Structure 1
Amino acid sequence: MVDQFLNSFIGMFVAMDIIGVLPMYLGMTQGLPPKPRRRLVNLSVIVAAVVAALFALIGKGIFKFLGIAIYDFKVGGGIVLLVMAILDLIKGRGAEEHSASTGVVPLGVPLITGPGLIATVMLQVGIYGNAIVLVSMFANFVFAWAALRKSALITRVIGVEGTDIISKIAALLMTAIAFAMIRTGIFEAIRTSHY
């Protein structure tokens, strides 16, 4: 059970790439006083967590309604994850200027809870079950909240170059996870095929 939690946590941590989000968050909140900045972090993490939890809890129902099998999503989600990881490796995530009023939408979704995290969460529910996924999701969002609240300190300690390096390593790990998702999805599709 501990192994399952750790596997789930690490998969989500890599997909979320909160360390890679830090420089963008700092750019978005540059010049904001501490109180609105804290409010923005709280709201962004809550929005991101609610979206991820909804996909974890009702994702299977959506699949059933649309006639999508889990292996279809593994292949599709793996391709999306792979493209995101390759783009991240090639050019990095671009920091954009955002005001405090619009910061929640790009920060909460899609920067914290993006397609990669959604795909990871939905696939993990099928592997580990709701309880483990929700607990590791909660742990990841607590970590994300703490990292964003202490972002200035973290960036000062490891530097902008350090956050870039960590982001690139996370992108490399994401490509490996993406290939694993695509491979297992294809093998499952072949195994369950009735042709």
Structure 2
Amino acid sequence: MSHRFLLAFLPLFVAIDPPGILPFFLSLTQGLPAPQKKTIARTASLTAFLLSLSFALGGRVILDYLGLSIWDFSIAGGILLLVLSVSDLLQSQKLPEEEDLSAKNLTRRSLGVVPLGIPVIAGPATLTTALTLSKSGPLWAVVSALLVNMLLIYFLLSRSEKLNRIMGNTLSSAVGKIFSLLLAAIAVSLIHKGIVGLMKP
């Protein structure tokens, strides 16, 4: 039983890459209070789990019904990430009273779903891996491996505030801009992979 679980857990862990998601989470949630970061982390983990589970159970049927491919997800996700990262890179610092709080709160609420849940956590690699494992192994192993991976993600992201306190505001802001640039590069990579995938016969 443990052997089958590991055979499902390890490929999903590599595809999801929990440690690699932390920098993007820090960049996207910079300046938010700790309770709100935990809420976003919980929403992102739950969203990614439900979408990945849906793909494991009937991803091919859903895609065929909608006339979509995994590469369409890759391109759409890449565009979303690119817009978000470029917006963050070009955004000037504002005083709190100058910010549009209603728009800011709306953006914060949606961060857990898009882009963190989809496509940062539940990206093309995760969805494809979940779909492939469900066809080659027992479903219980895939579901339990997905659940454990998402719990690890939540545990890691919900404690990101400690890292922010260690780095300080100035260093945290600088690191956030660097990671926004990396996020833009990954977005371009997702778009590129999606186009190459669609062009394959």
What TM-score range do you get, normalising by the shorter chain? Answer: 0.5 to 0.7
Aligned positions of 1:104-183 closer than 5 A: 104=112, 105-153=114-162
SS of 1:7's equivalent? Answer: helix
Alignment partner, residue 45 of structure 2: 45
**Distance between the aligned counterparts of 1:4 and 1:13, measured in 2?**
14
Aligned sequence identity (%)? 28
The 1:95/1:32 distance shift into structure 2, 3 A limit, reads: farther
Cα distance, 1:62 vs structure 2 = 4.0
**Distance between the aligned counterparts of 2:49 and 2:10, measured in 1?**
16
Amino acid at match of 1:100: R
Cα distance, 1:154 vs structure 2 = 6.2
Aligned positions of 1:19-98 closer than 5 A: 19-62=19-62, 97=88
Contact 1:27 1:95 in 2 (8 A): no
**Distance between the aligned counterparts of 2:87 and 2:139, measured in 1?**
35
- Structure 1 runs, 4 residues or longer, greater than 3 Å off: 60-67, 94-99, 152-157
Contact 2:34 2:161 in 1 (8 A): no
Contact 2:4 2:141 in 1 (8 A): yes
TM-superposition CA deviations, 1:1-29 (whole Å, max 9, x none): 32221121110011001211101101111
1:102 aligns to 2:107 (yes or no): no
**Distance between the aligned counterparts of 2:63 and 2:118, measured in 1?**
21
Contact 1:28 1:96 in 2 (8 A): no
Amino acid at match of 1:111: V
Cα distance, 1:65 vs structure 2 = 6.1
Cα distance, 1:115 vs structure 2 = 0.5
Amino acid at match of 1:13: F
Cα distance, 1:58 vs structure 2 = 1.2
Q: Is there any run of 5+ residues in structure 2 with no aligned partner, and where?
A: 79-84, 89-103, 168-174, 180-201
CA-atom RMSD in angstroms:
3.4
Q: Mean alpha-carbon deviation: is it higher for 99-108 or for 126-135?
A: 99-108
**Distance between the aligned counterparts of 2:58 and 2:123, measured in 1?**
17
Cα distance, 1:101 vs structure 2 = 2.9
Cα distance, 1:103 vs structure 2 = 1.1
Cα distance, 1:61 vs structure 2 = 3.3
**Distance between the aligned counterparts of 1:55 and 1:35, measured in 2?**
30
The 1:3/1:95 distance shift into structure 2, 3 A limit, reads: farther
Alignment partner, residue 4 of structure 1: 4
**Distance between the aligned counterparts of 2:19 and 2:87, measured in 1?**
16
Q: Scaled by the length of structure 1, what TM-score is found?
A: 0.61
Q: Is there any run of 5+ residues in structure 1 with no aligned partner, and where?
A: 68-72, 85-93, 165-195
**Distance between the aligned counterparts of 2:153 and 2:135, measured in 1?**
24
Cα distance, 1:36 vs structure 2 = 1.4
How many residues end up aligned between the 2 structures? 142
